[in-house]
Structure 1
């Protein structure tokens, strides 16, 4: 172990130990496509969930972790027979040693979900020292399981079950020790994020799985090396397994630990800096691959990278390297992107996905527009409903014609119809007040007009908050966005919370210390189109002033030597505020940070953006700055060429 890890270990009460058990394949013995009733519950083999029917007839899913579901399904599939501890372990944890308490913990979770009293069991009987038996009467039913019938939430996930099952199947392979790279592609509003979130929800609270999410952000996200990767790692370190993850990072990938020194104990910085002597871009690439593989040996690891069409070149290189490495890691990486944006920008992700696809080193999930039957399911009560009559079918046909099958456009159009009093949402589905044949859907010339009608329903102060937030970014906090609205952070946050409760335009993000180490709740726009609509409805002078206030708040919160991680974002805000010299200063800082990571191509991208801004300087200052930037750019190309010659691989993104 290197000196950093030794120091780190000595500071902790006991070095982190390997987990008692690892995630193994979720076995579904005798799996069928039917469902099994044991009133008031229904076990759905196809969708791997259990539905509960309430006294009022409504249906909702039980909050069962994947492993708990596997255990319950095994019991139900063998109802009436005693299942010993050994049989459970052989069926569900093959070739893996686990403590008996693990099975007991999952049985307790199942009983809690079912409301089963172990002293007077209705469903699961305990045979002390022997095992468990499912004692409730069961009835096999070949019909499908009804979805929840909550008002306003019927059929909200439609037309994507095959893609969801594909993700589940791939994750089952990951549990077996086969790493998987998956790309989810589609146009804006098509449901990429919804699909990924539903997959994450299906993992439940399984303690044997680690998940994390990294966002690529247009602008500064595209020029900071490893931007989404650093975001995902920060989230992991701040999670419940943070101590073990930090230890693994410092022992396996010290160059990465140094880049994340803000999340590491400060007393280890000198030791980390010694580890960086002789560091290279190849070393950082190798270390992140080794770190992810080491971490996924302890627990299955699922990393999500959103909006890869805005990703930096170094992140693309990392995906390439991970896909090509022979590995038995329990690692799954899911990346979402917009193919059109990738092609227009000639982003290296296009070359990478094409090459990996050709070599069968990745899996693709392309989301197409919703079919008419899926829209009909959304408008009705789901696939089980008998109300798929002529009225619903005709309504679905008209919606398919006018929305193009894009879920976001469809929802916006439905909101428009509700506003006009033509349609309404009820617990039984969407209802028209006119015949589908008489329906004249007045689709606005652009979606922005539909969204604008929704915006007008907000109060003036709510509009001001969201307009300020749109300047701050797709993900924002009250601490950074409130100054743009000329409000204090507490009032700003109160309004954001109210909007989240209304599910209006924004949602809550997990509580985090954030990349700025600010103890604040994070919020995110539900779609990039929403953010753009709020941004576009402001005048140029107002947006420039808002960008300037946000940049100055960020500057004030950190000392000069602590702004490296914010440099690209600060440059973006100052440029939008037309504060050219300050923007150029931070672009230089961002370029130096990229050079320290040996990410020369990313540094060139930063310099190119700086050269575009130089044109706004006075003549004398422009000539001097331009000469310096061109000299730096030439050096970077030389360094990048040398690194390419020394590297055995020819990864996308290298100049």
Structure 2
């Protein structure tokens, strides 16, 4: 049984209930609703819905719109101010109402809109964070208002932590809980969008009658439109003017009898008016059982974001608490995988997933699902009970960025200007870490201009960090940056046209030749790598042979032999006419090195 607001989704009997009354709903609309509820809180694309519900049948996408309209009618939802199903134009739908698993203990004075993870495996190793949240909730019960910021990278588990906290809170403290989300938008952001979303949940019938009465008395202009339409005679005429002071007073009124927990997810995407409301709520001194819980993703010291300034001001004046979520340790990633698989994971899986997810729970689960979908992990039902087994070596990460993660990363990238995107794409030609001089070389632009863009991205985007500087041969310095996650670099690299990548790699190789003129052997391997990536095989072979000579001069004969063996494999890309003489020369060089190694070992 899944509950949201006053509804209950009975999957066993495939029916929908409202309070104690069954609502008639056709099988296909029910299937759409069930899928959205089971994936609550995230975007479900049109293609995903069609593939899930009609896996082997072609269905016109227009049919989804028909079913969504039918569901809105059943739920009493409004497309413009969604309480349940939020439309993402040209992309899909998101179920935004908090979801609770199991029967809710009614009749105890509680009007909780409970939040619950769609799976029980969504949180591991967050005991310390939960303890801190419970401590704040205890103070709320004593009428000491609390503002809590939960910070961390995309996918680090902020929502899962909030869900688990709400689940545990519901057992011990009667509370009103409502959630609003910061909305992504390319144009002007709607004022108070997350606040209005939360108010719609607070006032949803039948549990929202008390909130409606208080809003109608203290802040009628903030009363949700649907509540006014349901019973217009109940409410006195009001001014169209909305003021933050009225809303603060009304929220404090709601938070007198029961605790009120307001959750604002992704506040870094919210409008400035919402930030101002949180600021005012935090500074008022009226006793109230009020807790504002904020999740936000401001990585890399994004100091120019207004949310950063608000949080720092509240921290300085001790008006808020900050909980920063770190990546999971390797053991915790292993536990997450065991919970997901329902058994001990295959021997190499924990290390592989931890290495490439870097402890990010969302990335870890996405990688696991990708390995299963691509049949690197399969169920073996020959033994007692089905067990997961690795059936082939895990692939290089370059070949397997999961599609859902790639889409998430692309959304972050596309918030940037075209110039900023080009800088990050050029940076991905190096590696996870990159110096500014290489980015400027790949783009063919001024290093000072490039450095300004990199610095701005480090302060605002949350995609890169500044980690130091690179000392160049001419005595100058070039700042050094690193992507916050290797998967960001992979997506940025793969999204570029092949011709642009080749041009960038060639320019970096040429810049290395110029910077280390007379000492090219010192960076010959790096030069060769870029020529290989550009498909310039003759220059790659020459650079590798140069690197082998440098290694041999330093007495590193084994390393020199490895480089020449690699050069032989690169020769396979040359024409038959060109490769023959070059291979002969390389084989002769290899023979000399091996003879030298044999003499040394005697």
* TM-score between the two structures when normalised by the length of structure 1: 0.40
Higher-Rg structure is: 2
Higher relative contact order (CA 8 A, sep 6+): 1
The TM-score normalised by the length of structure 2 is: 0.44
